[in-house]
Amino acid sequence: MAKRKKRNWAAPDVGPSLPPVTPALQSPRRRVPTGIRRPSYALTGEPGPSRSALVRTPEEIVAMRRAGRVAAEVLLEAGSMVGVGVTSDEVDRVVHEATVEKGGYPSPLNYRGYPKSVCTSVNEVICHGIPDSRPLADGDIVNIDVTVYIDGVHGDTSATFLIGDVDPASVRLVVETLASLELGIAACRPGGPVSDIGRAIEGHANKHHLGVVREFIGHGVGIDFHSNLQVPHYFDRHHSEALEIGTSFTIEPMLTLGSPDVAMWDDGWTAVTVDGCRTAQFEHTLLMGEQGAEKITVTGSGECAHQTVLETVA
């Protein structure tokens, strides 16, 4: 792994998000109807080793487009209902019900034992926040990470939403994190190295004095929720794997207002910034084509929740 350059994270206008997010009550695990196709880990919790090639077959590409479309629709529905006083457990219910209504299985459910159908990460929570009874407060930001398993493949997408009156530094964080994702996607080219993605994202983050989380990265996705392809959001020339046409993968940068260093809650899932400063994330599932990386976590009309987030700050 490339060495991280030392930096003074003590920005005078940015401090910990107060009050800090703390665990609250979790509702019971939600049930999936028996007629819905399940991934291999649904009962055991163990996905096992990656089972597929990185390049999708024509039949898998058709399925990936459907999974991506459904994931985008579910994320839009979840984003439309968040607001002051809404709990992340309510978000989990909406995501779960919308997913199964469309014939899909919520991919996070029981993946390595994860207890819920979606990840909800508030303020200083970097990723994998577990939905619970904490109400969203005025000024919060929350990432909702939706993955849907349908037709034997996974579609994975996320967006960070602003709740009520959000401070300017957090708005800037959200806007520039989305911009970094778009630059990472634009850097993809057939046969190009994965490292081009991290170079573009890290360069943008550095320009805006934002940290790049290194412990959590993009990944191959398809038959497997997470395949062997690794997609760092920082530049490392050793990640020279070529992005072949037909490869499906995610880019999902997590940027921070303060230190990008990570601490973990005792639940084994919730990752937070060590200094309590806020963090944001956006994600698309992509398919490498002849002209570059195609976003497949969009609706049939090309919409996604990323656009709605930008509209709230326009």
Q: Side-chain half-sphere of 55: how many Cα atoms within 13 Å? A: 10
CATH code matching the domain that covers 58-313, chosen among 3.90.230.10, 3.20.20.80, 3.40.50.720, 3.40.50.2000: 3.90.230.10
CB atoms within 10 A of CB 43: 9
8 pLDDT higher than 60? no
pTM: 0.95
- Token readout for 99 is 């997913």
pLDDT for the residue numbered 11: 54
Of 171-175, 200-204, 225-229, 231-235, where does mean pLDDT reach its minimum?
Answer: 225-229
Q: What per-residue confidence (pLDDT) applies to 3? A: 44
Contact at 8 Å (CB) between 154 and 148? yes
Q: What is the pLDDT of residues 256-299, one digit of tens each?
A: 999 999 999 999 999 999 999 999 999 999 999 999 999 999 99
Report the pLDDT value the prediction gives residue 31, as an integer from 0 to 100.
Answer: 97
Using a pLDDT cut of 70, give the percent of the chain over it. 96
Count other Cβ atoms within 10 Å, centred on residue 29.
Answer: 14
Q: Average the pLDDT over 289-313 and give the result.
A: 96
Query: Residue 1: which pLDDT band, with cuts at 50, 70 and 90?
Result: very low
Cβ atoms of 133 and 70 within 8 Å: the answer is no
pLDDT higher than 50, residue 6: no
Percent of the chain surpassing pLDDT 90: 91
- Give 55's DSSP letter: B
Q: How far apart are CA 170 and CA 114, in angstroms?
A: 28
Q: What is the mean pLDDT of residues 223-231?
A: 94
pLDDT number for residue 52: 80
* Beta-bridge partners for 193: 242
Q: What is the pLDDT of residues 14-49, one digit of tens each?
A: 889 999 999 999 999 999 999 999 999 999 999 988
Q: By the 8 A CB rule, do 106 and 147 touch?
A: yes
Of residues 135, 161, 132, 156, the one with CA closest to residue 145: 156
Q: Distance between CA atoms of 181 and 187, rounded to whole angstroms?
A: 10
Measured from the Cβ of residue 237, the count of other Cβ atoms closer than 10 Å reads 10
Question: pLDDT tens for residues 141-175?
Answer: 999 999 999 999 999 999 999 999 999 999 999 99
pLDDT at 13: 64
- Each residue's pLDDT tens digit, 111-130: 999 999 999 999 999 999 99
- ∠ CA 69-80-210, nearest 5°, is 85
Q: What is the pLDDT of residues 48-73, one digit of tens each?
A: 888 788 999 999 999 999 999 999 99
pLDDT at 50: 84
As a whole number, the mean pLDDT across the chain is 95
